[in-house]
Amino acid sequence: MGADFSQPQRQSSIGILVMFFYTLQQYARALWPMIVIWIFKFDEVNKLYFFLGMIAVFVSIGVISYLKYLNFTFFLDSENEEFIITEGVFNKTKTSIQLRKIQQVNINQSFIQKLIGVYELDVDTAGSNKKEGTIKAISHELALELKFRLLENEELKTTIGTETIALEETEQKLFEAAHPFIKISFLSLLKVGITSNYGRSIALLVIFFTTIYENFQNFGDESKVYEEKVGSYIDKNLVLQTILTSIVLLFVVVLVVNVIRTVFKYYDYKITRQKGSLLLSFGLLNTKSTIIKPEKVQITTVKRNYFQKKMGILELKIKQATSGEKEERKSIIEIPGCSEAERDSILRLLFHKIPEKGLMLQPNFRKLIFSVFISIGLPLFGFLGIGYWLEPIIFEYSYMVPVYLVVIGLIQYFRFKNNRLFIHENFIIKQSGAWDISNDIIEPSKIQAITTSQLFWHKKLNIGSITLHTAGGNIAFQLANYSIVKQQVNLWLYEIETSDSNWM
């Protein structure tokens, strides 16, 4: 039996505790300077006034939390097809969200909500950079039912057996929710933690050892006498072994932290089918549950590196409609540790077929030359300029220049080698990356706008650039064959004009 959302209803009564904790958190953020002063000057503060003040604060928070609970109601207006939320303590606000504009509904559970036994439901549309409606305390069953109702855009057929059909659909939902067709194992999460975020790990290593080296330099300049006394006891081989051991230990620590972060974030990752959509649920301390509707997916990215390929795993990222770059980063839905078979199952559900690459466009070699100039030429000129005219001491680090040239040169070469744009009748796939190879997949019908550009010195070479604008972000490709690009743009613009895609 489905819940009745046609009448205003409140959150779970135990949600008053959730309101209390969130209100307490807001007060603590606003009054933290006073709290710090009270802590450091606790002996000087009048204890009676202090405890009376604390009691008054907690009582006021309790009253405000109760009023928030009492004044918060939500219901579905079936006549106007809107979701109505009323809230406020002294100044009440009424939020009306049109059902057809709802982009995503997430069910989350923070650590506090997990202890209390309630869930949070967020309603998001593509036209704003914040959540339009949030219900802080609701049972899981009610949250799931409300999510289904909010995301249901199909018109119900008026047949004699409507009630029977609705019952069968409810039973199907319960069956699908209880039987996930993809479950990311703990071992797969470990593999993802070990094989991802190398760039971040290397950056931390560089920053750490640069700081250590500078400290040793300062220490050596200020204590020459001490260095002369103990210098004879230090074996250079032992120092070298210590440095190498420190590098290995730090790298292990970074990997362990990355593994822990991955496990905590994606623990118990389950993907279930629900009426042609994907229901994702994951998280150890903070549990998140979200639905992905295929027609609203903008960009799907398949990413893997060499180690992940050997281990038989990959990562999927799904972008839906957003309202800005900040929201774009936050709204990316990640599916880590998928096998190739699981990837194909997800892609089939999202696109109804496995995306094909089709015609391949590759950038002109001038893109590689320009990238090498920016990443190697300019830094090298800067290094030489600083050494000759400002700080000659910088030449003491010249031994690092060949290493930099080799590493950056290889990165730019593999980026150029892997940079491709594949054009198929139904799909556009951009391949990029040096170590982590990414394939961004979009459908031509999801394109909102197309930008092409060509510098005047590129006209004779017949090369130019293109940017595909979607509601989930942009895909850019530089220095491709401009004749082919213009031909494809005309086809895509025609498809955009004639498409009836319901991605909003």
- Has residue 118 got a pLDDT over 90? no
Boundaries of every domain in the chain: 15-153, 187-266, 355-363+419-504, 365-405
pLDDT at residue 422, as a whole number: 96
Q: Is a pLDDT exceeding 90 seen at residue 274?
A: no
> What are residue 157's phi and psi, to 5 degrees?
-80, 130
CB 412 within 8 A of CB 375: yes
For residue range 397-406, list pLDDT tens digits in order.
788 889 899 9
**Higher-confidence residue: 322 or 172?**
322
DSSP string, 309-334: HHHT-EEEEEEE--SSHHHHHHT-EE
Q: 225 or 483, which is more confident? A: 483
pLDDT of residue 213: 59
State the Cα torsion 407-409-414-416 to the nearest 10°: 150
Q: How far apart are CA 26 and CA 415, in angstroms?
A: 46
Question: Does 415 have pLDDT greater than 90?
Answer: yes
Q: How confident is the model at residue 178 (pLDDT cuts 50, 70, 90)?
A: very low
Per-residue model confidence as pLDDT tens digits over 212-260: 656 555 555 545 544 454 454 455 566 667 767 877 777 787 788 888 8
Q: Could you tell me what percent of the chain has a pLDDT over 70?
A: 77
**How many other CB atoms sit within 10 Å of the CB of residue 109?**
22
* Across 8-37, average pLDDT: 78
Three state DSSP letters for 392-449: HHHHHHCCHHHHHHHHHHHHHHHHHHHCEEEECCCCEEEEECCCCEEEEEECHHHCCE
Close Cβ partners of 231 (under 8 Å, ≥ 6 residues apart) = none
Confidence (pLDDT) at 355 = 93
pLDDT in the model for residue 464: 94
pLDDT at residue number 167: 44
- Which pTM does this prediction carry? 0.75
**For residues 17-23, average pLDDT:** 83
* Rounded average pLDDT over 36-54: 71
**Is pLDDT above 80 for 49?**
no
* pLDDT band for position 163 (cuts 50, 70, 90): very low
pLDDT in tens, 306-322: 999 999 999 999 988 76
Name the pLDDT band for 328 (thresholds 50, 70, 90).
low
Which pLDDT score, from 0 to 100, does residue 156 have?
A: 40
Q: Which of 133-147, 251-265, 322-336, 454-468 has the lowest mean pLDDT?
A: 322-336
Does the pLDDT at position 282 exceed 80? yes
Exposure string (b/e) for 206-231, b if CB count within 10 Å is 16 or more?
A: eeeeeeeeeeeeeeeeeeeeeeeeee
* pLDDT confidence of residue 368: 94
Higher pLDDT, 489 or 129: 489
Residue with the larger pLDDT of the pair 246 and 439: 439
Exposed, middle or buried: residue 354 (CB in 10 Å: 0-12, 13-18, 19+)?
A: exposed
Q: Which of 27-31, 333-337, 445-449 shows the lowest mean pLDDT across its residues? A: 27-31
* Alpha-carbon torsion (364, 474, 293, 284), positive or negative: positive
472 or 303, higher pLDDT: 303
Assigned CATH class of 15-153: mainly beta
Token pair, residue 329, equals 């980063």
pLDDT above 90 as % of the chain: 27
pLDDT of residue 141: 84
CATH 2.120.10 corresponds to the domain 355-363+419-504: no
Asked if 317 and 334 touch (Cβ cutoff 8 Å), the reply is: yes
End-to-end CA distance of the chain: 30
Across 320-329, 441-450, 454-463, least confident range:
320-329
- Measure the CA–CA gap between 94 and 373, rounded to whole angstroms: 57
